[in-house]
Structure 1
Amino acid sequence: MAYGHITEEEVLNLLKSSNKAMHFEQIAKHLGLDKEGRKKLKKLLKSLKREGRLFVEKGRYKLTEEDTVVGTVIPYPAGFGFLHIGEGRKDIYIPPFEMTKVFGGDLVKAKVVEFRGKKEVRILKIIKRGKRELVCKIVKGKICYGIPIYDAPHQKILLSQESCKDLKKDTLVVVEIKEYPRERVPAKGVIKEVLGHPQERLLIIDLLIRKYDLPLGYPEEVIKEAQKIRISIKRELKKRKDLRDQVCFTIDPERAKDFDDAVAIEMTPEGHYRLWVHIADVSHFVKEGSHTDKEAFRRGFTFYLPDRALHMLPEKLSADLCSLKPYEDRLAFTCEMVFDKKGNLVSYDIYESVIKSKARLTYEEALKLIVGDPVLEDKYPYLVEPLRLMEDLYRILSRKRWEKGSIDFDLPESEVVVNEFGEPVAVIPYERHIAHKIIEQFMISANETVAMHLQNMGYPCLYRVHEKPDPDKVNNLIEILGGLGYKVKKVSLEPKFFQKIIEDFEGRPEENLVRFLTLRSMKRAYYSPHNVGHFGLASEHYAHFTSPIRRYTDIIVHRLLKKAIKGEDVPYEETVAYLEMAGQHLSKQERLADDVEREAIDLLKARLMKAHIGEVHTGIITGVVPFGFFVELQEYLVEGLVSINTLTEDEYVYDEPAHRLVGVRTGKVYRLGDMVKVRVVKVEEDRGKIELELVEEEG
């Protein structure tokens, strides 16, 4: 692979011939690179590092020896581990005797050897430790030690008897490592915090927060900075559009405390729809380079957990000054759009404004006003006509988007209801109805419009991009759908192809499974200054603009928009380089937020299912593997495993191409999409795992 006039070979040969590690500047100087060449060198070095062909030590790049690799340790409870050496490269086995030196997340240099015909590693050097503080379970005896429950369950960390004397066995604590393990010498640590005993209080979410090292509070300088911030509406009115008399309102979930967006609508004399999307003007309060800004960037997102939210911004900003609270003057960033009756964008304007929301509606209240509810109509008579106009515009825009090929996966979602102690008490389906879809559609329209504006103005933008799916994954999807009796004449990598698959399964028992499988065949959307469009939305230009209270990406887009509106000069290459860095960091933080939220729900669902052991439920087979099949229970939207060992009436073989298990003697088949009855037999609460057994139908 070549980067302009620089090649991988040139860089690798330089490092090889120098026989020593080199700084970036030394490499650039030896290769005689100009400004453009240096930018390309940065990308090339990053790629070589990701592939494990070189590593960085004390700021210097060093060639990885041919039989050595650099990677991150991934531990397993049984005592072995794997070394992750880069995307697209196979992880390498770490035997138990090598794992005694390391913890999960450690960056190490290791030698690759072959043992009994398989590759494994011998650790040569620990480059960087992954964590200094770990959640541990207390074990007491002649000595007291902690066993890390996530990052190194194979390790023992010695603790002082004095610190353990008042703690019961299995109490969970946060341990700070003071000495890492050496040859036959265990690690030593001190207890920093006592979390509690699992039998005495629910610790699921607390442990998850520590596992992923999520922020529980804000640095003192951030709190002080936030407390000093004030709104001067009078001063702002001199330079903003005054829309305080407009009938705009917010529509949010019932438990929402921060309100990012408000909407308003009217019909123009030409019979067009004029839509206003008002977004909280967070960038007015969060100044570039401030302590609050740096902390918000580090977090990247608000993390939503079943019993709490870990906010990106301090409460003074997120729930007060920035939030578009009803009946209060608030600073907004407005995207005003005019659509004709076919859904075409006729004109638009983007500007800073001052608004006053006339109502704070929940989605359910908005729905009742749309379909007709006398009590709510009496309470909000001035909202009935706007909401019904919004429904009309939504249907027009939705139809136009569908014609372009936009894919609506609309997967069923569930919400875990917890009581005041954080204990899960119910799983309820999260229904998306017309009110949700109206707001989603309007936000999509605003996001598209601002991305198009920045692109047309020649300004950089942090786009939300979604690439075309990988052909191999699509072929695998078609193969799976073939097992469900679905035939495809010609495979296409266009959005309409996937849209049709979902439509063809509507109303069938496998509908939600097919939606999930189709989504899984897609690439993940991410943030980048290089616009490749948004495949899933069938959009040529898309950015995130509408949620700056909970997403840092939107703050970046707001700042760029303000510069574009004012005609300010922006150093293009320097800004793009920053957006590349920010896009990578924020895409990573988004994945973390998704993973944490999903794991929290899975763990709470597992805890809830402990109360349902022995019960029989109907479910659909969502995955078939050599050791059994996974079933999603319809009532709880929770997944469990039916182990092949429990299918004792026959010997079953795994038919991988058809995604099914087939009985050798009976020919009985269990395939993806089959409806089955199962009994809940076991729950591993700490791992979120549920074991099921098949219940044979009588007769």
Structure 2
Amino acid sequence: MAEYSLEEKDIIKALSKKPMHFNELAHLFSLDKKGRKALKKLLKKLKKEGTIIVEGGRYRLVQEEVVIGTVLANPNGFGFLEVGEGKKDIYIPPFEMEKLLHGDRIKAKVVEFKGKKEIRVLKVLKRGTKELVCSVKKEKGQCVGIPLDQNGFHRVFLPKDTCKGLKEGTVVLAEIVRYPSKESPMLGKVKKVLGHPAEKNLIVDIIIHKYKLPLDYEPEALKEAQSLSIDWEKELKRRRDLRDQICFTIDPPRARDFDDAVAIEKTPEGNYRLWVHIADVSYFVKEGSALDKSAFERGFTFYLPDRAIHMLPERLSADLCSLKPNEDKLAFTCEMVFSPKGDLLWYDIYESVIRSKTRLTYDEALRLIVGDPVLEKKYQDLVEPLRIMEDLYRILSYRRWERGSIDFDLPEAELIVDEYGEPTAIVPYERHIAHRIIEHFMISANETVAKHLTSVGYPCLYRIHEKPDPKKVENLLEILEGLGYKVKRFSLEPKFFQKIIEDFEGRDEEHLVRFLTLRSMMKARYSPHNLGHFGLASDGYTHFTSPIRRYADLVVHRLLKKALRGESIDYEQTVSYLEMVGEHLSLQEELAEDVEREAIDRLKVRFMKAHIGEEFEAIITGVVSFGFFVELKDYLVEGLVSVSSLEEDEYIYDEKAHRLVGYRTGKIYRLGDKVRVKLVSVDEERGRLSFVLAEAQKPS
């Protein structure tokens, strides 16, 4: 046989017609011994690259699947491509991540390698970041920035003179000048010096720059805010004047923007007439204005431990819109009448002018409800309304419980920081009856507004919460079985999950079960398509009650005003707009949650640095092959007990039962177990705590 000069393209062309055995290919190309050896080598290479696979002894081409998605980087050097639409993320190997950054939008082909799907980059469509927060390092005469986020496996080479005036470890904001490729590293320049961690607490500043949160408003938006005023003569003529009504606000002690005020009375028929007054932000923020564009981009107010990054400038959030006591304010009112059984008998929604009589904190409201002679004397006019509110709250709460509303009510810990942003204490945050009164009244107003817009045939930006994924529910029940809880059959109805939580009330695992149940749920989101709210067991729900800090509520206010005025709208065009708004705001909400969670978690880790060597009561919240995670009872801080620290035995990981089992002693550490642990180390840079079991806890 003659030697054949074989190339990859020849093999691909042949296999594109049909799958073939090795001998078939050798025969097709008339290969001699040397040629067969070359064929084997080429086939091995194509297989490694994921171009071909072997099935039933035959080589076949992998059908090329091209996808577009967003890169999710891992600090360990690999990543995943998020392709959306409920599809599973696809693995990105380290050699492809060399040229990618977290958040990049790319086009890629999907290949199979060692039986698993992974991607090969075809094109970077859009870069996810232009700036990186980096820690400055000096390496072999080079000035290098190490990103302090998911991109930490990359290095940013900075101009040499940058390092001359900076101490090693200084944190900077680096602007990317050249993106990484296989041939060349990433280049950048220092845009801003944030400081050195040893000299200043940089945690919140780093997070703000990491997530690119907007610290400043556009000059045009600020100019608009300063020029705003109220035409009182006109507004008093066209609005309902409720300034004489005894209404008031109930908020946390440090609140500065007051979205909502409430008032109540008992009718002669024994019904409850409730007024929920909401700040009329839409009077000031007009569609298409600079203020509106700025508010839409932010979507939310971002609450951080030492500051808030407001959706609206302070002139609006803390002054014009805020329902401050003893000032005339423009409001949007939802007035509702409930029967003694909690039935909504009647409602009205209208624009109003109100004057809050006082500003109460939640704790003050509670003391007035249960009886505090000093406060009762100070707020004589509020005692009766608050106690009527308590009665209505209990009626509404029971009614919602009857229909299946799920109360996740996870324990919270408040992080106290000083004027320099340093964490000084972690204290339990108590949610009591005063919180619940306001919470239930806001739910009623939100449901009523959603009901109204639906009934008049207007579109609405609903707050939807879909039924959970059955697979996640099965996983939840599998975990609960390890806690001794057995279910004969499950249903995807709110009542089923409500019962799970109730069955664990009072047990050590109660808070863990609430968290696990919440984790099995879908995420609530914004949409113009009413799919109901599963967690509240509600047929229709929206967000109407917090327009100072949520853009969704502002959108609903505008729709309501148009509906109340009988304005004609293009229904399909409005729905299309609301789909876009809902998608954007759902993403912004996720961002706000990530930012707030990371800031609190990292500051908690910093606070725990002063407690190294101390022992704590904890509960096991997660079990993995390399150890188990614990949450401290007092501080609600999570950390890891490494399996390597359990030196008295070798432990086997029982994944299905979520436990570690001692090979010799039979000692078991399972999800939900109470343990006593000692804090041994704190990794501030990665935000991690390491624990070991306290001596008294170790098996002998």
Give your verdict on TM over 0.5. Answer: yes
Distance 1:592 1:101 in 2: 25
Q: Please name the residue that 1:170 is paired with.
A: 169
Q: Deviations over 1:206-236 (max 9, x none)?
A: 1111111111111111111111111222220
Counterpart residue number, 1:416? 415
> Structure 1 residues 285 and 470, CA, compared in 2 at 3 Å: closer, same or farther?
same
- How much does 1:108 deviate? 2.3
CA distance in 1, matches of 2:214, 2:188: 22
Alpha-carbon offset, residue 85 of structure 1 = 3.4
Please list, as runs of the form range in 1=range in 2, the aligned pairs for 1:456-475 lying within 5 A after superposition: 456-475=455-474
- Which of residues 66, 81, 85 in structure 2 aligns to 1:83? 81
Spell out the pairing of 1:247-396 with structure 2 (5 A cutoff).
Answer: 247-396=246-395
Corresponding residue number in structure 1 for 2:569: 570
Alignment of 1:544-555 (within 5 A): 544-555=543-554
- Residue of structure 2 in register with 1:129 after alignment: 127
For the structure 1 residues 113 and 453, does the alpha-carbon distance in structure 2 shift closer, same or farther, using more than 3 Å as the test? closer
Give 1:30-41 correspondences, 5 Å limit: none
Larger Rg: 2
Distance in 2 of aligned mates of 1:95 and 1:402:
49
Contact 2:64-2:110 within 8 A present in 1 as well: no
Q: Distance in 2 between matches of 1:206 and 1:272?
A: 52
Q: Deviations over 1:373-432 (max 9, x none)?
A: 111111111111111111111111111111111111111011110011100111111100
Q: In the aligned structure 2, how far is the partner of 1:183 from the partner of 1:539?
A: 53
How many Å separate the matches in 2 of 1:365 and 1:672?
39
CA distance in structure 1 between the aligned counterparts of 2:641 and 2:479, rounded to whole angstroms: 20
Is 1:94–2:97 an aligned residue pair? no
Measured in 2, the distance between the counterparts of 1:643 and 1:445 equals 47
Match of 1:258, SS?
coil
Write the deviation string for residues 266-302 of structure 1: whole angstroms up to 9, x where unpaired: 1112111110000000011000010110111111110
User: What secondary structure does 2:696 align onto?
Assistant: coil
C-alpha contact (below 8 Å) 1:278/1:333 kept by paired residues = yes
Is residue 152 of structure 1 aligned with residue 151 of structure 2? yes
Cα offset for 1:82?
3.2
Partner of 1:108: 106
1:97 Cα offset (Å): 3.6
Cα gap change, 1:537/1:182 in structure 2, threshold over 3 Å: closer, same or farther? closer
Give the secondary structure class of the aligned counterpart of 2:283: helix
C-alpha displacement of 1:116: 5.5
Q: Which moved more, 1:654-663 or 1:388-397?
A: 654-663
- Evaluate the alpha carbon distance shift between residue 66 and residue 113 of structure 1 in structure 2; reply closer, same or farther with a 3 A threshold: closer
Amino acid at match of 1:82: F
CA deviation after TM superposition for structure 1 residue 117, in Å: 5.6
Structure 2 unmatched ranges of 5 or more: 1-61
| 2:238 alignment partner, SS class | coil
Cα shift at 1:519: 1.0
- Cα deviations across residues 225-275 of structure 1 (Å, max 9, x unaligned)? 111111222220010000000000000000000000000011112111110
1:503-550: CA deviation from partner (whole Å, max 9, x where unpaired): 111111111111111111111111111111111111111110000000
Q: Separation in 2 of the partners of 1:534 and 1:86?
A: 22
1:636 is displaced (CA, Å) by 0.6
Alignment of 1:433-452 (within 5 A): 433-452=432-451
Structure 2 residue aligned with 1:27: none
Residue identity opposite 1:515 in structure 2: R
Identical pairs, percent:
69
**Aligned ranges for residues 611-690 of structure 1 at < 5 Å?**
611-690=610-689
1:388-537 to structure 2, matched below 5 A, reads 388-537=387-536
Tell me the SS of whatever aligns to 2:676. strand
- Residue 640 of structure 2 aligns to a residue whose secondary structure is strand
Contact 2:104 2:128 in 1 (8 A): yes
Query: Quick one: structure 1 residues 76 and 494, their matched pair in 2 at CA, closer, same or farther if it must change by over 3 Å?
Result: closer
TM-score, normalised with respect to structure 2: 0.88
Cα deviation digits, residues 566-614 of structure 1 (max 9, x gap) = 1111211111111111111111111111111111111011111111111
Report the equivalent of 1:557.
Answer: 556
Aligned mates of 1:349, 1:111 — CA distance in 2 = 56
Separation of aligned partners in 1, 2:597 and 2:434: 25
Q: Following TM superposition, by how much is the alpha carbon of 1:182 offset from its aligned partner in structure 2, in angstroms? A: 4.1
Q: CA deviation at 1:145?
A: 2.7
> CA shift at 1:113, angstroms?
4.5
- Distance in 1 (CA, whole Å) between partners of 2:627 and 2:182 is 41
1:316-366 Cα deviation digits (max 9, x unpaired): 000000000000000000000011111111111000000000000000111
Output the CA distance in 1 between the equivalents of 2:301 and 2:68: 33
Change (3 A) 1:87 1:613: farther
Summarize deviations over 1:658-688 as a string: whole Å, max 9, x none. 1111122222111111111111111111222
Is the CA contact 1:105–1:151 (under 8 Å) kept in the aligned structure 2?
A: no
Shift of 1:160: 2.1
Unmatched 5+ residue regions in structure 1? 1-63
Contact 1:620 1:631 in 2 (8 A): yes
Tell me, yes or no, if the aligned pair for 1:233 and 1:329 is still in contact at 8 Å: no
Take 2:543 and 2:212, find their aligned partners in 1: how far apart are those partners? Answer: 26
* Residue 183 of structure 1, CA deviation: 4.5
- Cα separation, 1, equivalents of 2:82 and 2:457: 40
TM-score, scaled to structure 1? 0.88
Q: Which moved more, 1:367-376 or 1:123-132?
A: 123-132
Distance (whole Å) between structure 1 residues aligned to residue 519 and residue 75 of structure 2: 28
**1:627 partner amino acid:** F
Distance in 1, Cα, partners of 2:134 & 2:164? 16
- Whole-angstrom distance in 2 between the partners of 1:65 and 1:149: 38
1:248, 1:358 within 8 Å by CA — same for their partners in 2? yes
Matches within 5 A, 1:4-83: 66-83=64-81
* Corresponding residue for residue 23 of structure 1: none
In the aligned structure 1, how far is the partner of 2:357 from the partner of 2:165?
56
Deviation sequence 1:431-476 (CA, Å, 0-9, x none):
0001000000100000010000111111100111111112221222
CA contact (8 A) 1:134 1:151 kept: no
The aligned counterpart of 1:229 is 228
Is the Cα contact below 8 Å between 1:405 and 1:499 reproduced in 2? Answer: yes
Residues in 1 aligned to 2:566 and 2:116: alpha-carbon distance in whole angstroms? 61
- The structure-2 alpha-carbon separation of the partners of 1:393 and 1:474, relative to structure 1 and needing over 3 Å to count, comes to same
SS at match of 1:277: strand
| SS of corresponding position for 1:658 | coil
Say which SS state the counterpart of residue 489 (structure 1) adopts.
coil
> Which piece of structure 1 moves more, 69-78 or 427-436?
69-78
Q: Contact 2:64–2:111 (CA<8 Å) still a contact in 1?
A: no
The residue type equivalent to 2:556 in the other structure is V
- Secondary structure (helix, strand or coil) at the match of 1:667 reads coil
Output the CA distance in 2 between the equivalents of 1:348 and 1:206.
46
In structure 2, what is the Cα distance between the partners aligned to 1:367 and 1:688?
Answer: 37
Paired position in structure 2 for 1:185:
184
SS in 2 for 1:238: helix
- SS in structure 2 opposite 1:697? helix
Cα 1:616–1:468 change in 2 (3 A) is same
SS at match of 2:278: strand
* CA positional deviation for 1:495: 1.2
Q: Counterpart amino acid of 1:607?
A: R
8 Å CA contact retained: 2:157, 2:186: yes
